[in-house]
Chains A and B, each alone.
Chain A
């Protein structure tokens, strides 16, 4: 850890990859012969992210929220409909051919689907060595065989299997072939789309440890997309949460995991399955009501309002109790859930919360904690919704932890540092605890 901190600190400030207000939409076509465009799916709609050298940005979010689309645009497989991708400070759209070729080497991708992203007619050795053919200067021809063997070994595969074909491997083995291929030309940036989802926890741990070692040694930067929030927590320095094409919350990992402010992030964290069968029937998951909206027809105002538990709570309180609802504004009944007027009509932008900490939790550069919610800091009179639970210590089986250690307040960075004490009272936190 000490070593890592040093690397992060020295290389911490240079931005290797940046996206500004990125959007990508796909046409929706109808008709059998003559396809007419009848609308568009806004897969990604105005995302800005910054990735620094030697750091890992975790990207989590709802299935279908645009994570893979964003990744494909980042590595240049698809063109954005709006916005910019900057690599090393240079706009990708203005690059020359040669520059773009170089770019394809510096930014590599591990694809989400380990089955279809590997050419079934190529042997595994050819697949992993393919980047050498595209970028011949990466490794001299004589050294390539050995390089391929080394890469396979690195990801925990048997180098003797280089002459086998993808269908002869299991799901998790194929996933690691994808990781080996992406590492072949020693990229600066690795965009990993669910790189470990098909791996058992032990092999997954090996791949993550490998990625972290490479980061320490070579200063690699990762954009790490995953649904496993524990894995993201482990590997990421910063986390961005996506919902329906947008980033709704972003910050260093401590801020997002311990002080989540967006109601979607909170629901996500509450739904992480606990590896403890005795915790099965404890209440606590925030169940999102309603169906996920379509990116072809996003809801008005805040895109989350059709499913937001916080908005419903605020609206209920403003209807019920005097004084409580001034901030909420007139909650009106229409079709759909009762939510504050603002949630239905105004699109919240990402705003920075409170005062920043001087040094980020991981010792890296300061990362602001930003949230896109009108009520991110508004205190709410605690109420007891039926589907919110007591905080449960959801850690692993009893024999593995020292509760005394975990509670030690001295160990933690004080969240009060990060924001104004006046804002401290946390609406959702209160309701979860009460």
Chain B
């Protein structure tokens, strides 16, 4: 991986003196709310979201489709659609509230410190320019390098994310790339910004597992080298288990549980987290005996995947009380009326010193294994 080293040492900005010490909180989102104007009224896509991520660490954000993961990230980047409005909250990068900056300032500031890998890889690439041109422009804007140098580094970046035959492919157009290659171009162009915080929105969905593993290793290396903070939005619980330090679980626009990765997998404190983890289809293989047996079990059990009953709420019609109550297997009367706040779990209920929080009236019972 010498290329990583070259990339870093040749990056003229982001000198090591400015780099955060590992463990320093870099990005802190607090009580963020985002609304959209639509023909049927205002919908609140993000509703009081808080999270923070430290230098050199990875925060995974998981949650149901449509719960506000992408919208909240775009809000942090200052890239929301014109119909969107941030109604409250802050997003502080090293203490500076990005949301208080003017739009132009905001984007310039992010250009220097915070980069994002967008979920829609193809839509984010310009169809009329070659991949190399687009990567090169990003490098020129960020590092002010010459055209020739930008091109050389564009090839290097494509190589880094394992696009085959990078020297030739750099002159091709996005439609000539496969889904996974486009996704890797997006990762490469975010890395070209040499960010201190990287928000990666589903960066590996189009990658096969071996390339995914390579890309994740690459991110980890770069992260360690530059003490970069990574916010990883993903649906893949295997990826979360493999790379995250902390996990934030979102439901209906807010965080419902926050915990270190080992703890949350071992004993979730929110019924939604628990149901989500139960829905993960696991691969039955390895040591043929165990594999075939497990599959026979799964198929005998009706061949259906576990799911959480009901439909996630639309942002316009969030249920009263706890937003999860219509689908929660342990809901009580109080859940229908009183919204549970995201509250710290008392230290005596924890197995480690790391703090945890959950937004459930019965978090302690759920954590303790009671209730379902």
User: B7 contacts the other chain (Cβ, under 8 Å)?
Assistant: no
Chain A residues with CB under 8 A of B159: 291
**A113–chain B nearest beta-carbon distance, Å:** 5
Chain A residues 393 to 419 lying within 8 A of chain B, measured CB to CB, are 393-397, 400-401, 405-409, 411-413, 415
A323 within 8 A of B: no
CB of A63 within 8 A of CB of B236, answer no
Cβ–Cβ contact A230 & B303, under 8 A: no
* The stretch of B18-26, B305-313, B318-326 that contacts the partner chain: B305-313
The CA of A234 and the CA of B239, in the complex, are separated in Å by 19
- The answer to whether A273 and B284 have CB atoms under 8 Å apart is no
Q: CB within 8 Å of A: which of B134-182?
A: 159, 162, 164-165, 168-169, 171, 176, 178-181
Tell me if A330 is interfacial: C-beta within 8 Å of chain B. Answer: no
Q: Determine whether the beta carbon of A272 is less than 8 Å from that of B209.
A: yes
Known contacts A63-B207, A203-B307, A229-B283; can you find 11 more A-B pairs with CB under 8 A? A1-B303, A64-B164, A171-B65, A173-B65, A209-B307, A227-B212, A271-B209, A276-B265, A280-B242, A407-B290, A411-B292
A206 lies within 8 A of B307 (CB): yes
CB-CB under 8 A from A60, the residues of chain B are 208
Cβ < 8 Å to A, chain B residues 1-58: 36, 38-40
Nearest CB on B from A153, distance (A): 9
Q: Are B210 and A271 in contact (CB under 8 A)?
A: yes
A275 contact set on B, CB distance < 8 A: 237-238, 240-241, 265, 277, 280, 282
Q: How far is the CB of A19 from chain B (nearest CB, A)?
A: 19
A160 to B176, CA, bound (A): 37
Is A324 in contact with chain B by the CB < 8 A criterion?
no
* Complex-state Cα separation, A313 to B236, whole angstroms: 33
Beta-carbon nearest neighbor of A297 in chain B? B165
Chain A residues within 8 Å of B179, by CB: 63, 68, 112-113, 194
**Residues 146-173 (chain A) with a chain B CB within 8 angstroms:** 156, 158, 160-161, 163-164, 167-173
Chain A residues near B36: list those with CB within 8 A: 168
Q: How far is B14's CA from A84's CA once the two chains are assembled, in angstroms? A: 55
Chain A to chain B: the 6 pairs with minimum beta-carbon distance, closest first: A172-B65, A273-B238, A63-B180, A412-B292, A294-B165, A205-B305
Residues of B close to A291: CB separation below 8 A: 159, 162, 164
A277: CB under 8 A from chain B? Answer: yes
- B329 interface hit (Cβ, 8 Å): no
- Interface stretch, picked from B115-123, B192-200, B352-360, is B115-123
Per the bound structure, the CA–CA distance linking A276 and B240 in Å amounts to 9
Residues in A with CB closer than 8 Å to B181 are 63-64
Residue pair B282, A396 in contact (C-beta under 8 Å): yes
**Among the listed stretches A96-104, A254-262, A369-377, which one makes contact with chain B, having 4 or more residues with CB under 8 Å of it?**
A254-262
**How far is B302's CA from A196's CA once the two chains are assembled, in angstroms?**
21
A227 engages B209 (CB within 8 Å): yes
**Which residues of B lie under 8 Å from residue A139 when comparing CB positions?**
none
CB of B294 within 8 A of CB of A201, answer no
Interchain Cβ contacts under 8 Å between A and B, 21 examples: A28-B168, A60-B208, A63-B208, A64-B180, A156-B311, A172-B66, A198-B202, A202-B308, A205-B279, A212-B304, A227-B208, A257-B295, A272-B209, A273-B212, A273-B242, A276-B265, A362-B299, A395-B282, A395-B294, A405-B293, A405-B294
User: Would A412 and B238 be within 8 Å (CB), given that A115-B122, A164-B38, A391-B286 are in contact?
Assistant: no
Q: Is the CB of B210 within 8 A of A267?
A: yes
- What A residues does B65 contact at CB under 8 A? 170-173, 176, 198-200, 203
Q: Is the CB of A279 within 8 A of B241?
A: yes
Q: Do residues A392 and B210 form an inter-chain contact, with CB atoms below 8 A?
A: no
Q: Does B291 sit within 8 A of A, measured CB to CB?
A: yes
CA separation between A409 and B292, bound complex, in Å? 9
- Beyond A201-B281, A202-B279, whether A294 also contacts B164 by CB under 8 A is yes
Contact between chains at B208 and A173 (CB < 8 Å)? no
**Partner of B276 from A1, A200, A212 at Cβ < 8 Å:** A200
Q: Verify A200–B239 contact, CB threshold 8 A.
A: no
Q: Are A158 and B281 in contact (CB under 8 A)?
A: no
B206 touches A112 (CB 8 A): yes
Chain B contacts for A199, CB-based, 8 A: 65, 235
**Docked-complex contact A277 and B261, CB < 8 angstroms:** yes
Is the beta-carbon distance between B296 and A411 smaller than 8 angstroms? yes
Work out how many contacts link A and B, with CB atoms closer than 8 A: 275
The answer to the question of A285 belonging to the interface, with a C-beta cut-off of 8 Å to chain B, is yes
A228 to B202, CA, bound (A): 14
Is A383 engaged at the interface, CB distance under 8 Å to the other chain?
no
Whether A63 contacts B206 in the complex (CB less than 8 A), given A273-B241, A275-B265, A294-B164, comes out as: yes
Partner of A202, one of B261, B304, B307: B307
Give the distance to chain B from A60, nearest Cβ to Cβ, in Å.
7
Can you list, as one digit per residue, whether each of A262-283 has a CB less than 8 Å from chain B (1) or not (0)? 0000011101111111111000
Contact A406 B293 (CB under 8 A): yes
Residues 76 to 126 of chain B near chain A (Cβ within 8 Å) = 81, 119-123
Per-residue 0/1 for B186-223: is the Cβ within 8 Å of any A Cβ (1 yes, 0 no)? Answer: 00000000000000001001111111110000000000
B332 within 8 Å of A (CB atoms)? no
Among residues of B, the one whose C-beta sits closest to the C-beta of A253 is: B295
- B289 part of interface (Cβ distance < 8 Å): yes
B218 CB, nearest partner CB in chain A, Å: 13
A201/B209 contact (C-beta < 8 A), A258-B288, A274-B238, A412-B288 known: no
Distance in angstroms between the alpha carbons of A271 and B286 in the assembled complex: 12
Contact A272/B238 with A1-B303, A172-B66, A413-B292 known, Cβ cut-off 8 Å: yes
The residue that A115 contacts in the complex, of B123, B162, B212, B306, with Cβ under 8 A, is: B123
* The one of B122, B168, B180, B297 that contacts A294, using a Cβ cutoff of 8 Å: B168
Q: Which residues of chain A come closer than 8 Å to B205, judged between CB atoms?
A: 194, 197-198, 227
CA distance A287 to B292 in the complex (A): 25
Question: Is A233 at the interface (CB under 8 A from chain B)?
Answer: yes
Is the pair B202, A400 in contact by a Cβ cutoff of 8 Å? Answer: no
Q: How far is the CA of A392 from the CA of B286 in the complex (A)?
A: 7
Task: Tell me whether A62 and B235 are in contact (CB under 8 A).
Answer: no
Determine whether A351 belongs to the interface, using a CB cutoff of 8 Å to chain B: no
The answer to whether the Cβ of B298 comes within 8 Å of any Cβ in the partner chain is yes
